[in-house]
């Protein structure tokens, strides 16, 4: 991986679309050099070129290309092509095609539509993956394998059903009564006599058993990860030391990326924010992206991640495919780096002439020139990456964490209650991240199974599900001096989605917070309530309010209205050496920042409210820190108390830093 000094700069390159245009392939190399591209991702969708007919393999076309690239200083990441299958494969092995939630098998076509259980598909890709690693894995230009492309989706076929049953048998110790109890199948007479009776949650079938729906999600992650592991094993047969990644889609709902991440050496993801939309500022769009970057980098905190794909210009699949305004591309690339990426990569190098993505942005478009606005902006990014090259291999270190968990997410989305319109688990996690961002506080976004002791404060928004051992882990964290901030909807269900009896939060967590939630109120958008603090200030709340029984916690704020007026809305209990906060209602944004700031400061986390439009991040390496300041606002903005050397402007800064709109500073702090 460290064959490249400095940042990886490049992206997806599909030369197989241009094999009849050797002039263009030649021109690509010249233009890549001009654009400062030092690495391309090859073979993402090349199966029908590698294996035009079953069992006959052709790699020479790519050998020639990687040799030429390497001679010109361009390295390559090699994808395994399982993301799309050749027509011959589906014709001969229809079981490779996915069955949808109505039980109907897909026809051949499109991509990302495979059955992860198909023995034939697994075998065919195993053979090809092995050959790819034999052929290219020792090439001097080879960097790493990119396993498949954006794994995703569910398959409801017989083979998947069979595997699901065997997964359930393992999970429930082969005892159907254990499963019946865990899934509460006595409800509506839904009990099973045997594992053979269990079906996946077809759209016209069983979708009223929350435990089943949850296990189906878990199984899909298990099965996809298992498939991915087979691909990893195949590429490592010839090159045991080869590094592997797969490209995640950040908040993608159907796969638990925390489970998949364990199998990978490097985390990478594809980022396509809706820049320039008409419902939020650029700062807001970028703040949400920063959450995604933080979650990705938190999956492997000891090393940088890779921005595997991003659009240098526009995309072609959003509701409105708006051009990135001049300067936004550079800013977005710097944001990824600021958040811990050691690469800036694009989808894609060159626009194809036809089919689904013919109008998707690329570094080189149909015009074919190297003096377009986009091309020049890409060149500019390359220059900038060179200037800040010393930042590579540094990492972000945070003292504050936000818990984000896929099981919890699935369980909340599937629970019948509250309001489907306002549950907003993901948004709630992002909102707290945004508050921290605005306060200049770098936050990790971590799974619930992570060690908490590294953090001064852990935010656990809407921690509806408690996994075995979690309540104890949270108690131990606080007892040993940690500070935990939980909210309404904490600890309602166990990891099978069965409600705890005796009060929420369950599993003994009531003792940690000194409160029990007796009821939860779902507010209509026009309902008004608030939480009043001792100093008389009021923070408006919306969406949800729990009514608490307080046993032994300090009440920090009470409700201002309704029949639960003057009862506790925010509490804190000292527990061992730490504090456990319980925020019983959802505060609106306005006014929340000050409350969060006070809380952070109280527990020793330094904050400062950053000027509007300014985003701040921080990377460290060998005792040297790099502070990134990004201005996504519309105004020239000054930031105080900045000291160090700005790698971008190549000047010393002492005191005040001034940034024009879309400008970036990377300050080395000694
Ligand atoms: C995804 C895919 C790419 C391409 C882009 C388009 O990220 O991985 O192959 O389709 O989307 O935005
Ligand atoms: Zn299947």
| Ligand 1 neighbourhood includes 533 CB (under 6 angstroms) | no
CATH code of the domain occupying 8-154+227-391 = 3.20.20.80
270 lines ligand 1 (CB under 6 A): yes
SS (H, E, C) 156-194: CCHHHHHHHHHHHHHHCCCCHHHHHHHHCCCHHHCCCCC
Q: Is 308 in the pocket of ligand 1 (CB under 6 A)?
A: no
Entry field: residues in the chain? 670
Identify the CA nearest to 575 among candidates 508, 512, 515, 516: 512
φ, ψ at 399 (rounded to 5°):
-105, 0
- Please give the model's pTM, rounded to 2 decimal places: 0.98
Q: Is 150 considered catalytic here? A: yes
CB of residue 269 inside a 6 A radius of ligand 1: no
Give the mutation target among 79, 150, 272 for probing the ligand 1 site: most ligand atoms within 8 A of CB.
Answer: 150
pLDDT the model gives residue 575: 98
The reply to whether domains 8-154+227-391 and 400-602 share a CATH topology is: no
For ligand 1, atom 12, the nearest C-alpha belongs to: 315
- 182 CA distance to ligand 2 middle (Å): 25
Domain boundaries, the chain: 8-154+227-391, 400-602, 614-669
Closest atom, ligand 1, to C-alpha of 309: 7
Q: Is 314 in the pocket of ligand 1 (CB under 6 A)?
A: no
Q: What single string gives the DSSP state of each residue in 332-359?
A: HHHHHHHTTBSEEEES-SB--SSSTTTT
pLDDT at 670: 75
Q: How far is the CA of 84 from the centre of ligand 1 (A)?
A: 12
Q: For the domain covering 614-669, report its CATH number.
A: 2.60.40.1180
Question: What separation in Å is there between the alpha carbon of 170 and the centre of ligand 2?
Answer: 19
For 400-602, the fitting CATH number among 3.40.50.620, 3.40.50.880, 3.40.190.10, 1.10.357.10 is 3.40.50.880
Residue among 14, 45, 147, 270 whose CB has most ligand 1 atoms within 8 A, to mutate: 270
| Pocket of ligand 1 contains residue 315 by CB under 6 Å | yes
360 C-beta closer than 6 A to ligand 1: yes
Any ligand 1 atom below 6 A from CB of 151 = no
Atom of ligand 1 lying closest to residue 311 CA: 12
Nearest to 430 by CA among 454, 402, 471, 406: 402
Q: Which residue owns the Cα nearest ligand 1 atom 5? A: 347
Query: CB-based contacts of 439: which residues, under 8 Å, 6+ apart?
Result: 593, 596, 597, 600, 607, 608, 609, 610
Q: CB under 8 Å to 579, separation ≥6 — which residues?
A: 478, 483, 484, 572, 573, 603
28 in the Ramachandran plot: left (φ > 0), alpha (ψ -120 to 50) or beta?
alpha
Q: Count the helices and strands in the chain (H runs, E runs).
A: 17, 25
Residue 391, C-beta contacts closer than 8 angstroms, at least 6 positions apart: 337, 619, 621, 626, 647, 666
Give the ligand 1 atom nearest the CA of 316: 12
43 Cβ closer than 6 Å to some ligand 1 atom: no
Q: Which residues of the chain have pLDDT under 70?
A: 1-2
Which candidate in 51, 231, 309, 377 is catalytic? 309
User: Looking at residue 459, what is its pLDDT?
Assistant: 98
User: Residue 378 in 3-state DSSP?
Assistant: helix
Q: What is the DSSP letter of 651?
A: E
Which pLDDT value is given to residue 343? 98
pLDDT at 553 (0 to 100): 98
What pLDDT does 1 receive? 54
Under 8 Å between Cβ of 93 and 125: no
d(CA 571, CA 588): 18
Residues of 436-448 as b/e, b for ≥16 C-beta within 10 angstroms? bbbbbbbbbbbbb
Kindly give the distance from the C-alpha atom of residue 486 to the centroid of ligand 2, in angstroms, as a whole number: 39
Q: How far is the CA of 560 from the centre of ligand 1 (A)?
A: 49
Angle between helices 373-387 and 22-35 (to 10 degrees): 50
To test the pocket of ligand 1, the residue of 309, 358, 361 to mutate (highest count of ligand atoms within 8 Å of its CB) is 309
Say which of 16, 51, 150, 615 is annotated catalytic: 150
Residue with the smallest CA separation from ligand 1 atom 7 is 270
User: Is residue 216 within 8 Å of 223, Cβ to Cβ?
Assistant: no
């Amino acid at each position: 991986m460290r064959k490249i000094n400095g940042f990886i700069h490049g992206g997806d390159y599909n030369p197989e679309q241009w094999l009849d245009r050797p002039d263009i392939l030649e021109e690509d190399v010249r233009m890549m050099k001009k654009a400062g591209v030092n690495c391309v991702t090859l073979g993402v969708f090349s199966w029908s070129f590698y294996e035009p007919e079953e069992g006959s393999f052709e790699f020479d076309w790519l050998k020639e290309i990687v040799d030429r690239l390497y001679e010109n200083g361009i390295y390559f990441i090699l994808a395994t092509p399982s993301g799309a299958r050749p027509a011959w494969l589906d014709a001969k092995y229809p079981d490779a095609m996915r069955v949808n939630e109505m039980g109907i098998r897909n026809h051949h076509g499109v991509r990302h539509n495979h059955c992860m259980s198909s023995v034939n598909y697994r075998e065919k890709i195993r053979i090809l993956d092995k050959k790819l690693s034999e052929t290219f894995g020792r090439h001097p230009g080879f960097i790493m394998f990119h396993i498949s492309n954006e794994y995703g989706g569910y398959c409801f076929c017989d083979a998947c059903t069979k595997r699901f049953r065997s997964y359930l048998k393992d999970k429930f110790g082969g005892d159907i009564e254990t499963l019946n109890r865990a899934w509460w199948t006595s409800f509506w007479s839904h009990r099973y006599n045997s594992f053979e009776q269990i079906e996946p949650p077809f759209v016209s079938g069983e979708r009223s058993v929350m435990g089943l729906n949850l296990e189906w999600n878990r199984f899909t992650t298990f099965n996809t990860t298992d498939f991915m592991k087979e691909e990893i094993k195949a590429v490592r047969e010839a090159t045991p030391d080869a590094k592997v990644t797969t490209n995640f889609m950040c908040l993608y709902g159907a796969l638990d990326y925390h489970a998949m991440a364990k199998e990978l050496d490097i985390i990478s993801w594809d980022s396509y924010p809706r820049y320039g939309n008409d419902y939020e500022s650029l700062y807001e769009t970028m703040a949400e992206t920063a959450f995604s970057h933080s979650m990705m980098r938190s999956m492997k905190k000891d090393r940088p991640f890779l921005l595997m794909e991003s659009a240098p210009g526009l995309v072609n699949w959003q509701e409105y495919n708006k051009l990135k305004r001049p300067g936004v591309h550079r800013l977005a690339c710097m944001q990824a780096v600021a958040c811990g990426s050691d690469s800036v990569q694009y989808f894609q190098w060159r626009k194809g002439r036809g089919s689904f993505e013919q109008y998707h942005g690329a570094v080189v478009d149909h015009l074919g020139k190297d003096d377009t606005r986009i091309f020049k902006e890409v060149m500019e990014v390359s220059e900038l990456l060179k200037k800040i090259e010393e930042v590579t291999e540094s990492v972000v270190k945070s003292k504050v964490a936000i818990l984000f968990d896929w099981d919890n997410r699935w369980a909340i989305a599937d629970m019948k209650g509250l309001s489907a319109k306002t549950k907003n688990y993901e948004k709630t996690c992002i909102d707290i991240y945004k508050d921290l961002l605005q306060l200049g506080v770098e936050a990790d976004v971590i799974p619930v199974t992570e060690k908490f002791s590294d953090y001064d404060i852990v935010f656990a928004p809407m921690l509806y599900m408690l996994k075995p051992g979690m309540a104890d882990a949270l108690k131990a964290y606080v007892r040993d001096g940690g500070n935990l901030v939980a909210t309404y909807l904490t600890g309602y269900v166990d990891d099978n989605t069965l409600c705890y009896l005796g009060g929420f939060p369950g599993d003994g967590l009531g003792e940690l917070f000194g409160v029990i939630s007796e009821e939860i109120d779902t507010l209509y958008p026009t309902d008004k309530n608030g939480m009043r603090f001792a100093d008389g200030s009021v923070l408006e709340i919306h969406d949800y309010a729990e009514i608490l029984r307080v046993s032994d916690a300090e009440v920090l704020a009470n409700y201002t209205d309704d029949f639960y007026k003057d009862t506790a809305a925010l509490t804190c209990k000292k527990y061992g050496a730490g504090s456990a906060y319980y925020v019983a209602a959802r505060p609106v944004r306005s006014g929340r920042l000050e409350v969060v700031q006070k809380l952070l400061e109280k527990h020793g986390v330094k904050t400062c409210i950053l000027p509007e439009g300014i985003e701040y991040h921080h990377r460290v390496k060998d005792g040297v820190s790099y502070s990134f300041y990004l201005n996504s606002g519309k105004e020239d903005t000054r930031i105080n108390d900045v000291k160090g050397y700005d790698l971008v402007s190549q000047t010393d800064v002492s005191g005040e830093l001034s940034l024009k709109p879309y400008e970036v500073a990377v300050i080395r702090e000694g």
